[in-house]
Structure formats: structure tokens, C-alpha cells
């Protein structure tokens, strides 16, 4: 049997399928009399879930870095969201229902709201809401379990239940509403095993690692698994933009989504071909052999790449190219250093804002930028100023509702409209420059005037620091080239700044008029389109004519089929996600001129 789906993460895996079932698929509508006690149970479970998520955050941070862990900070914030808390409390009070049911109903309501939105990114947040609901329900079940004594296995509980209730529900035997609540409590606790309550999902516990198949998998569930126990991941529902998908890629786990697999696959032998988007169940010996060979080639490649960690990024005929890393937080710098990055070509500072429920203070930002500068030990760290807007939104900014957010108020436009926020960030960046080699970069530029205004504000900040006797160092100033206007004006812009970094992700979207968030436009969103490559060439030429350097920090920088072409164009720096550094180094070392 062959099933196809969407590629979330490439790679080949061979092994047995293990089906993962959600723990809270059986929440029932139990009636309660003491609503206050039920609300207290909910509050307690919510706090317990937050503590559990904090642990998952630490695990994800250690194993996957900041980009992989950030979602769990968002989950903690969602749990404190007043709309969520009020809705659960109200449901318990008004309808006298058990906390488990109130949490599940509230999460279903909010996730349906997200799913109905016409923005793919927001639709993917529905899974986050269901995820936090499941975690609170798991905690509520632990309290039921504690109240009913020591933990028992499902089988033991079922035996006991049959003896107490026969095979029917209490109303069938004429019992009271309290009796039904007790039955429901028991029913809830009966579904929880000792292993589940310990926080580890009850799969992948056999002697061999497995291919995990699920209807849907929440990020917190995936992050809890021991990576060495999972070979690959296949889900029926889920978006390639979801946080589960991002985690799978960060974990380098071959993964597919949108696979309409049938019933009864548990225990069957299967192959995942991540790049082809295929799940092959019960393959014949010839197919198995073909994929074993493919897997061996992948392993050999990984081994070969790991040997390049300490090697130079230099062409066969000795031309050296700067190969840097794109990071979303300080912890990602460790992976960049491990694989020998020459610096940080793009620090997406907006992640500091997106992970918070209020503006990060100057001090918080300073600490993060200083830590990155110190970690990189003199290698250049390019801090891109806040690129909020479009799909990156934080409530406390109160950005206007826009019909076309990617054509709206974002990047430098927000910073110039809100100089208070911009100045706080620039102060933090300038102060951090005493601790390493720090540069600043302005995003979403469309005019010379914007660059001059940004530089003017940076100058004002310098004067303020001087007046306060606060030290700062030399900070190069650059811009991102990610709009057709900036390409067109690149000759003029080169006179204003120290460097260009080409953001091909947005440049593709704006040059080809194709929303980068919309999977329905994938066929139009082609970063290798001749217009985009022509723009890169023009920008590099105009940079060099103006005496400055130009790099690429969009995803296209990691496309190794273009590495040679980029070097021929004269690109001075390629900046890629840490996971791609070694691939690109290998490609550069193959080039000759």
C-alpha cells in the first residue's frame, strides 16, 4: 500500500508503525454540584500544566534551541489568557459541568475560531489551542486519580468497574446524578495509566524505534518523545507551517502530513520517503532494499558533512566565502559555532518580542544581544531590528487590522512610526556593541528616505548615550533588500549604508506577487524565478560599485544547486539556518572558477 502526503521534513526511514492515540479522546460531560471546587481544580490543573510546559520548554531548548522551544512559551501565555480562563470558569458556573468537559469545550470553540480564519498561519494555531487543552485535562485526570488512591492500569480499572457497575452506565441502573458524576470520574481516571501520568506519551516504549503515525500530534507531545525512539512522523491532519512541523524539521525527523492512511496499520512494516511525500506500507523486499541503500547514502553524507565542521568555506581554487548563520535567539548561536559559522548574518530580534506579553525592556534586549555578541567571540553579529507585522504579530503592539497584512505596516514602517520602541531597541544594540562585533540591519526598506530617518534616529540615540556617559562601540549599519523598490534603488541605497543583505523570502513574495504564507500559491512562489535571480545579480553589482558588500540571508542562500551561481555573481556572504551550514560549506568546497 502506498499513501501520499505533504513533505514536512525530508529523509528516509524504515521501521514498524506505531499508532499514537490522544489521551483525552473520551472526555464526557459530567455534572457537578460544587462548582467552586471544580473551578479550584481547574486553576490548580492550569498551574500544574504551566509547570509541565516549562519543563518541556527546557527540554526543547536543550535539544532544539530557541526556535524549537519558543512555542512552549506561547503555550504558557495562552494558559493565562483571560478569555480562555474566563470561558472555562463561566461554563463550569453556568452549566455545572466538570472541569475536563469545560476545558475541552472551550478549546474546541477557540480552535474552531482559529480554523475559520483565512490566514494559514492563524489556522495552524488551532492545534496549539487543542494542545494546551489536552495538557490541562491530563493534569485534571491526575487529581481525580490521586483522589481515588494509587494509580492502577487500564486493565485493572476496567475489571473493577465491571464488578461495580456491570457493563452499563449508572442511569441504566437507576442511580443518582452524583452516581453519574462518580461514574464519569471513574471513567476519566480509568483511561489514565501510571505511565501516562508521568508525562511521557505511552508509545515508542518497545525495543525498536518506530514510525509514529497519528491523526494529529501537538508540539508538546512531539517534544516529550525521546528523539532516539522515533524514526519518522506521519499525521493525517496538520499544516506544514504548524509548530509541530517546525519541531520535526528542527529534530531532523523525516515527516509527512495530510496522509489519508487507513485503519489497522499498527505494527506493520513501512517506509517513509520524506522528499517524495510517500508512506509505503508492507513494502516488498526489492523496495526495502532500494530504500536501505538510499538510507546508507544519507548516513554516509551526514558523516562526511560532520567532518567539515572545522574546515574552511573555500572554493577549490582558494576563494573564501563568508558562511554565517540565521538565528532566532541566543541559544541558536551554539549550533552556529559548532558548525563553524563565520558569524551571525541574521538575528531575527522580533522573536524576543513575539515570545513576550509586553514590550521587552532595554535591559532584557541588551542582555540577549550582549550574550550573542560574547558567544560569537569577535565574529560579526547582525542584529536585524524588529520585523514585526504581517504574520508576526504581538497583541500589545495593537497593530491595525489589515486586509493585506504582508502589504501592510511591518518592519521598518512600524519602527519609524513608533520611535519610542525603535529607540529602546537601538540603545540596547549600541550598548551591546561594547561586547563584540555588532552590526545593525533595517528590514523592509523601500526608499532612501526611510534609511536616512532610521540612521537619524540611531544618531539621536548615540547622542543620548553620550550625554549619559554610557559607552558603545562601532556599529556598521546595513539594510535588507527584500522589496522590488529596494532592488531598483540599490545604487542609491549603497551610498547610505555599509552592507546589503538580500532577503529572498520576501523578495520572492513581492517580486512575484505571491503570498508566502499561502500554500495554495506554492506554484507561483518560486525563489529560483529568473526575476528573483536577476534581482540578486543587480543588487550585488550595485553594492560592489558603491564599495559595500552584499550577502543573502533568505532561504535561497541554502539552495546548494545555486551556490556556484551566487559565487559567480560575487555574493560576499551566505547566511543560512544552522542546520544547513555544512551542506552549503560542502557545496562551496566543490566550486572552481
User: Site residues (CB under 6 A) for ligand PEP?
Assistant: 346, 348, 387, 482, 503-506, 553-554
Q: Which does 68 bind (CB under 5 to 8 A by kind): ligand PEP, Mg ion, none?
A: none
Q: Which does 445 bind (CB under 5 to 8 A by kind): ligand PEP, Mg ion, none?
A: none
Compute the least distance from the CB of residue 553 to ligand PEP, in Å.
5
Q: Which does 554 bind (CB under 5 to 8 A by kind): ligand PEP, Mg ion, none?
A: ligand PEP
Q: How far apart are CA 34 and CA 592, in angstroms?
A: 77
Compute the least distance from the CB of residue 225 to Mg ion, in Å.
32
Going residue by residue from 479 to 498, which x/- string records binding to Mg ion, judged by CB under 5 A?
---x----------------
For residue 389, state whether it binds Mg ion (rule: CB under 5 A).
no
List 279's β-bridge partners, or say none.
3, 272
Q: Which does 31 bind (CB under 5 to 8 A by kind): ligand PEP, Mg ion, none?
A: none
Asked if 204 is an active-site residue, the reply is no
Return the SS3 of 349.
Answer: coil
Q: How far apart are CA 485 and CA 444, in angstroms?
A: 10
Helices 362-375, 419-432: inter-axial angle, 10-degree rounding: 40
The string of DSSP letters for 498-559 reads SEEEE-HHHHHHHHTT--TT-GGGTTT--TT-HHHHHHHHHHHHHHHHTT-EEEE-SGGGG-
Nearer to Mg ion, 373 or 502 (CB): 502
Is residue 447 within 8 A of residue 485, CB to CB? The reply is: yes
Q: How far apart are CA 271 and CA 475, in angstroms?
A: 51
Compute the least distance from the CB of residue 284 to ligand PEP, in Å.
43
Q: Which does 66 bind (CB under 5 to 8 A by kind): ligand PEP, Mg ion, none?
A: none
Nearer to ligand PEP, 133 or 328 (CB): 328
Nearer to Mg ion, 283 or 503 (CB): 503
Q: How far apart are CA 131 and CA 72, in angstroms?
A: 11
Q: Hey, what's the cell of 405?
A: 497584512
Nearer to ligand PEP, 295 or 505 (CB): 505
Q: How far apart are CA 45 and CA 137, in angstroms?
A: 8
Q: Hey, what's the cell of 146?
A: 490521586
Nearer to Mg ion, 154 or 409 (CB): 409
Select from 65, 170, 328, 503 the one that contacts Mg ion (CB under 5 A).
503
- Among residues 107, 204, 324, 553, the one annotated as catalytic is 553
Q: Match 499514537 to its residue by C-alpha cell.
A: 20
**Residues 89, 25, 108, 95, Cα dihedral to 10°:** -40
Taking the alpha carbons at both ends of the chain, their separation in whole angstroms is 48
Total residues in contact with Mg ion, by rule CB under 5 A: 3
Instruction: Give 3-state DSSP helix, strand, coil % of the chain, rounded to 5.
Output: 55, 15, 35
List 138's β-bridge partners, or say none.
none
Nearer to ligand PEP, 283 or 329 (CB): 329
Q: How far is CA 427 from the centre of its chain?
A: 28
Compute the least distance from the CB of residue 501 to ligand PEP, in Å.
8
Asked if 553 is an active-site residue, the reply is yes
Compute the least distance from the CB of residue 64 to ligand PEP, in Å.
19
DSSP annotation of 578 reads: G
Q: How far is CA 219 from the centre of its chain?
A: 9
Compute the least distance from the CB of residue 559 to ligand PEP, in Å.
13
Is residue 506 within 8 A of residue 444, CB to CB? The reply is: yes
Q: Which does 120 bind (CB under 5 to 8 A by kind): ligand PEP, Mg ion, none?
A: none
List 552's β-bridge partners, or say none.
502, 574
- Among residues 75, 107, 243, 580, the one annotated as catalytic is 243
Nearer to ligand PEP, 209 or 345 (CB): 345
Nearer to Mg ion, 273 or 387 (CB): 387
Q: Which does 184 bind (CB under 5 to 8 A by kind): Mg ion, ligand PEP, none?
A: none
Compute the least distance from the CB of residue 366 to ligand PEP, in Å.
22
For residue 515, state whether it binds Mg ion (rule: CB under 5 A).
no
For residue 506, state whether it binds Mg ion (rule: CB under 5 A).
yes
Compute the least distance from the CB of residue 514 to Mg ion, in Å.
14
Q: Hey, what's the cell of 555?
A: 532561504
The string of DSSP letters for 59-94 reads HHHHHHHHHHHHHHHHHHHHHH-HHHHHHHHHHHHH
Nearer to ligand PEP, 482 or 559 (CB): 482
Q: Which does 348 bind (CB under 5 to 8 A by kind): Mg ion, ligand PEP, none?
A: ligand PEP
Q: How far apart are CA 89 and CA 437, in angstroms?
A: 51
- 127-160 burial: b if 16+ Cβ within 10 Å, else e: bbbbbbbbbbbbbbbbbbbeebeebbeeeebeee
Positions marked catalytic: 243, 553
- Footprint of Mg ion (CB under 5 A): 482, 503, 506
Amino acid at each position: 500500500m502506498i499513501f501520499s502526503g505533504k513533505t514536512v521534513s525530508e529523509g528516509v526511514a524504515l521501521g514498524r508503525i506505531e499508532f499514537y492515540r490522544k489521551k483525552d479522546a473520551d472526555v464526557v460531560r459530567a455534572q457537578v454540584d460544587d462548582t467552586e471546587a471544580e473551578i479550584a481544580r481547574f486553576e490548580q490543573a492550569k498551574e500544574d500544566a504551566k509547570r509541565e510546559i516549562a519543563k518541556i520548554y527546557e527540554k526543547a531548548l536543550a535539544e532544539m534551541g530557541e526556535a524549537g522551544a519558543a512555542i512552549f512559551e506561547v503555550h504558557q501565555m495562552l494558559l493565562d489568557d483571560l478569555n480562555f480562563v474566563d470561558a472555562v470558569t463561566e461554563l463550569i458556573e453556568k452549566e455545572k459541568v466538570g472541569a475536563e468537559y469545560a476545558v475541552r469545550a472551550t478549546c474546541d470553540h477557540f480552535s474552531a475560531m482559529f480554523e475559520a480564519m483565512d490566514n494559514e498561519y492563524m489556522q495552524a494555531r488551532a492545534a496549539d489551542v487543542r494542545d494546551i487543552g489536552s495538557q490541562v485535562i491530563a493534569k485534571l485526570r491526575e487529581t481525580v486519580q490521586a483522589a481515588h488512591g494509587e494509580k492502577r492500569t487500564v486493565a485493572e480499572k476496567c475489571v473493577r468497574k465491571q464488578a461495580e457497575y456491570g457493563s452499563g452506565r449508572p442511569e441504566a441502573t437507576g442511580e443518582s446524578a452524583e452516581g453519574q458524576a462518580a461514574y464519569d470520574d471513574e471513567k476519566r481516571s480509568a483511561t489514565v495509566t501510571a505511565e501516562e501520568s508521568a508525562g511521557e506519551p505511552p508509545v515508542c516504549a518497545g525495543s525498536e524505534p518506530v514510525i509514529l503515525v497519528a491523526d494529529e500530534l501537538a508540539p508538546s507531545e512531539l517534544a516529550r518523545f525521546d528523539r532516539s525512539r522515533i524514526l519518522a512522523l506521519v499525521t493525517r491532519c496538520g499544516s506544514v507551517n504548524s509548530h509541530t512541523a517546525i519541531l520535526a524539521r528542527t529534530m531532523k525527523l523525516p515527516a509527512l502530513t495530510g496522509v489519508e492512511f487507513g485503519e489497522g496499520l499498527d505494527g506493520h512494516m513501512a517506509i517513509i520517503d520524506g522528499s517524495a511525500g510517500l508512506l509505503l506500507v508492507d513494502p516488498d523486499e526489492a523496495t526495502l532494499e532500494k530504500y536501505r541503500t538510499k538510507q546508507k547514502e544519507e548516513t554516509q553524507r551526514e558523516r562526511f558533512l560532520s567532518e567539515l565542521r572545522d574546515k574552511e568555506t573555500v572554493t577549490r581554487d582558494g576563494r573564501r566565502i563568508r558562511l554565517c548563520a540565521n538565528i532566532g535567539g541566543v541559544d541558536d548561536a551554539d549550533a552556529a559555532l559548532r558548525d563553524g559559522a563565520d558569524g551571525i548574518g541574521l538575528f531575527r530580534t522580533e522573536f524576543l518580542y513575539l515570545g513576550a506579553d509586553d514590550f521587552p525592556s532595554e535591559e532584557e534586549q541588551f542582555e540577549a544581544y550582549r550574550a550573542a555578541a560574547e558567544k560569537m567571540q569577535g565574529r560579526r553579529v547582525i542584529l536585524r531590528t524588529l520585523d514585526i507585522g504581517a504574520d508576526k504579530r504581538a497583541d500589545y503592539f495593537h497593530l491595525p487590522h489589515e486586509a493585506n497584512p504582508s502589504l501592510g505596516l511591518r518592519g521598518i514602517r512600524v519602527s519609524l512610526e513608533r520611535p519610542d520602541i525603535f529607540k529602546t531597541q537601538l540603545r540596547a544594540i549600541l550598548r551591546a556593541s561594547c561586547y563584540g562585533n555588532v552590526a545593525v540591519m533595517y528590514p523592509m526598506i523601500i526608499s532612501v528616505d526611510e534609511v536616512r530617518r532610521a540612521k537619524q534616529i540611531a544618531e539621536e540615540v548615540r547622542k543620548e548615550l553620550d550625554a549619559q556617559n554610557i559607552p558603545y562601540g562601532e556599529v556598521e549599519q546595513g539594510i535588507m533588500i527584500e522589496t522590488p523598490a529596494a532592488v531598483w534603488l540599490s545604487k542609491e541605497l549603497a551610498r547610505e549604508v555599509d552592507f546589503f543583505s538580500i532577503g529572498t523570502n520576501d523578495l520572492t513574495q513581492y517580486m512575484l506577487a505571491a503570498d508566502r504564507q499561502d500554500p495554495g500559491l506554492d506554484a507561483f512562489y518560486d525563489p529560483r524565478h529568473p526575476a528573483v535571480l536577476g534581482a540578486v545579480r543587480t543588487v550585488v553589482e550595485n553594492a560592489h560599485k558603491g564599495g559595500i558588500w552584499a550577502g543573502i540571508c533568505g532561504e535561497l542562500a541554502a539552495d546548494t544547486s545555486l551556490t556556484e551561481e551566487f559565487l559567480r555573481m560575487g555574493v560576499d556572504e551566505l547566511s543560512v539556518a544552522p542546520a544547513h551550514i555544512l551542506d552549503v560549506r560542502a557545496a562551496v568546497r566543490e566550486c572552481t572558477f
